[in-house]
Amino acid sequence: MFGRFRVKKLIRSNEFVIFLILLFLSLTIGAINPAFFTISTLFDTLRSSIVFLILAYGLLPIVIAGGIDISFVAIAATTSYATHMFLLKQGYDGGILLYYLIAGGAGILAGLLNAFLVTQFKLPIFDVSLAMFTMWYGFNLFFVGATANFSLPKGTVGFYNIFVFTAQDPNVGETGLHITVLLALGLGLIIWWFLKYTTLGRGVYAIGGNREVAVRSGFNVRLIFFVIFGIMGLFSAIAGVTQAFLSRYFNPVIFITQPLDVLAAIILGGAAITGGSGSIIGTTLGVLVIQVINRALILTGIPVEWQRFVVGVILILFTSIPALRNLRAKRMGHTSQLTQSD
């Protein structure tokens, strides 16, 4: 009885629905072009998901707390690009770790600046992020540099080619799963643990549910905002650096068109735009759905312009599921009230 209850709950969960969408998409695409069902496609899809996963994991706590932020992409671009230009000037030829450390530190500071403005002056999160989005990209282009840079330090050459494991693909030969998959996985686990097992993490949900009550209950709302914006800054910087080394060049306006794609993935993953809900598993599936669609459209020969259209349609369909459910529940509620007293 209890078991059945659990199963029912799983089936009704957003994560399950998005999983079905992913499954359905994959099967459909595979039926049209069997090339989809190859190891190399799988590895490629995962590789192109890595950076989006890291960005989404960093943004998720803010969305759960009821905020919408778009400045994370600008923080990613500025911290990674500025770190690179700085190290280039110093003649650095070491490994990638120093990139993560410097950019990560700068990212945290940038995130804390958002948190400071939001908590100190009671500004709306979206307004602050809109300003920061423009400001950081502007800063990057004006003070740091306006052109893409392709000269990587010696110690980082070959990083794009380090695999967790490799496999033989019948069509393309040897293919590998990039090591940074583990990075994304690790960061995802950290956020999962933070949201589920720390009082601060539960406070994030509490703020998203009812900020006033969260204050009244004794949550340190200010501290929570500093923590989640710090996480956002750190994760964005990591994503920016990772993206640069996977594609082997630094771009001062990287991700500038993509903040809404990341937000879309989080919403697809079951987070409410008004806050209070959202999960790591859902976010992961949301990112994968969008990546699979991108890949699918290439494989099935549908023009690239359709990508966005299709993502939009899926988003509408997906977000209307809970609304339809509510409608049905309401109707049933009415009936049961009448039949109960009959």
Task: Give the nearest distance from C-beta 318 to other proteins in angstroms.
Answer: 19
Q: Which stretch binds other proteins (CB under 8 A): 18-26, 55-63, 166-174, 196-204?
A: 196-204
Task: Please report, for residues 20, 48, 167, 220, 221, the alpha-carbon distance to residue 39 in angstroms, rounded to integers and kept in the order given.
Answer: 21, 14, 7, 47, 46
Q: Is 338 in the site for other proteins (CB under 8 A)?
A: yes
Q: Count of CB atoms within 10 A of residue 274's CB? A: 11
For 195, phi and psi rounded to 5 degrees? Answer: -70, -30
Q: Residue count at the site for other proteins (CB under 8 A)?
A: 29
For other proteins, which residue of 98, 190, 200, 281 counts as binding (CB under 8 A)? 200
Q: Which residues pair with 176 in a beta bridge?
A: 166
> Site mask, other proteins, residues 304-323, x = CB under 8 A?
--------------------
For other proteins, which residue of 30, 176, 209, 322 counts as binding (CB under 8 A)? 209
Q: Is 166 in the site for other proteins (CB under 8 A)?
A: no
Q: Which stretch binds other proteins (CB under 8 A): 168-176, 205-213, 282-290, 298-306?
A: 205-213
Q: Which residues of 54-76 are buried (b: 16+ CB within 10 A; e: fewer)?
A: bbbbbbbbbbbbbbbbbbbbbbb
Q: Do residues 54 and 235 make contact, with C-beta atoms less than 8 angstroms apart?
A: yes
Using only the alpha carbons of the chain, give its radius of gyration: 22
Residue closer to other proteins by CB (options 248, 334) is 334
Residue labelled with tokens 């009671």: 122
Q: Do residues 140 and 78 make contact, with C-beta atoms less than 8 angstroms apart?
A: yes
**Residues composing the chain:** 342
Q: Scanning residues 212 to 251, which ones bind other proteins (CB under 8 A)? A: 213-214, 216-219
For other proteins, which residue of 155, 176, 276, 322 counts as binding (CB under 8 A)? 276
For other proteins, which residue of 13, 48, 149, 277 counts as binding (CB under 8 A)? 277
Q: Residues in the site for other proteins, rule: CB under 8 A? A: 9, 196-202, 205-206, 208-210, 213-214, 216-219, 276-277, 331, 334-335, 337-338, 340-342
